[in-house]
Structure 1
Amino acid sequence: MVFYTFDPMEKETTIFGIRAIIEAIKSGENIDKIFLQKGLKGDLFTELEQLIRQERLNASYVPFEKLNRLSKKNHQGAVAQIAPISFYDIEDLVLNVIESGKTPLFLLLDQLSDVRNFGAIIRTAECTGVSGIIIQKKGGAPVNGDTVKTSAGAIFKIPICKVDHIKDAVFHMQASGIKVIAATEKTDNTIYDVSFNEPCAIIMGSEGKGINPSVLKVADEKAKLPILGEIESLNVSVACGAFLYEAVRQRRL
């Protein structure tokens, strides 16, 4: 039996207990992230770790105190969160968007870590007609109740895909005739120097490190926002909004 708690206001399910999580994984539950107690040992715990690696699930090792905050139940050193949405297959999504006749506009998020930024970006993406959002399976912000709240429910209205690595998404976009534009300060081009009128995908990087250099290297074009003040950078959700609305502006001309 799988033991879990459900908060209908947050649309988030939390599974607690090592055996319960093992059963949930084997039954195909849409698990978004697993939190494991640092330093925990035992045969059952080892089995869970092996299953996580086998299924390439997103897991973090955390102190016992954090697990207590995640679940008030007897979690046995393991807590898992089930995503409130079903994820799309990137190949199916891209093909469906192309066949729809609309000019594709995708958003690739390279290990964005702050769930509030993530939710805010989802909300803006839905408002600007983004075709879909692609995130990495590991290392990014979880898709949980906080994401639902900060997205103002937009998370249920826009397709989201998970890939092993953002580079996989970049290569698939390029193979599908979609130009990939990286949002980075490491360029002389501003958003007003690039065209968003053709099928394109915009990459936004993480809050601290920006876009991974290996991902940046394979982008078709790079663009930045003009900064007129003394602060060198903008919050990633604000920057993303500026990029998306420039795409909207160009496409309405």
Structure 2
Amino acid sequence: MDWNRTKSIFIFVFLILNIFLYYFYLNRYNEAQSVEIPGEKTIEARLKEDNITYGSLPNSNEFVVYITGKVHKFTLTEFTKSNQQANIIGEDDTLVHVDILNPVKLRNDDETSITEFVRANVKDGDSYALWKVDREQRTAIFFQKKGNRMFYYNESALLKVQWNMDNEVTMYEQTMLDNIEEMEKQETVIPPLQIIQTLYNKSLLKPDSHITQMKLGYSTMGYLTQKQVLVPTWEVQVKLDGETEEYFVNASEGNVIEIQENKQEGEEEDWGVE
């Protein structure tokens, strides 16, 4: 008997069997997903009844990965620009306050001008994306990002810029993650409509509201060590009666992420700004 040939035949047969079983499972799964419970309305119908609207939803036919990052410890040697005076704050050296000795004039207080300043004057400025501008307080908040995906309200990955009444930047404060690496396991993105259904089922979407934005980013699982694990996260902005609310949902598991405390810290903490 040719044992090698027999072994090859067995391997081939088992491969065909596995393919058949997977195909059978996939068909059964898709059938189960398409079964509608008699009398139960679809999520689209329920949203329409409550006048909850949304525009074009983003593409969800992709995979995402968890990432890790280490909290950066600043040193004064990183800040060599003659127009900047850096002061590292706190015992752990993870927050830096930088005064602009000769304030830098912005063309306007618009998003483009502020972003241009950050890219030209802030350490690793390209790795931050503008999140919010408060023209009354003359401040802008940036979130660190990987690619085009922001790290939402991560106190270790924030940048705050302030300018004076003459539209001149006078200071900024910064925290940062470095050594950012992707974890090996890939996760399937939960479709946007399913995320909307999750928020609706939790009564977070009110009648007459409009979903203005859905974007993929990252949120942080915890702050227990210098190394953090960041999870893929859907950010959903909802407008109702002129007010905008933000919701965050784990993009691979579907659970709503409560980061209101971090949001308040990012928006209200003065970070030493006067």
Tell whether the structures are fold-level matches, with TM greater than 0.5: no
> Could you say which structure has the higher helix fraction?
1
Q: Which has the larger radius of gyration?
A: 2
What TM-score, normalized to structure 1?
0.25
> Could you say which structure has the higher strand fraction?
2
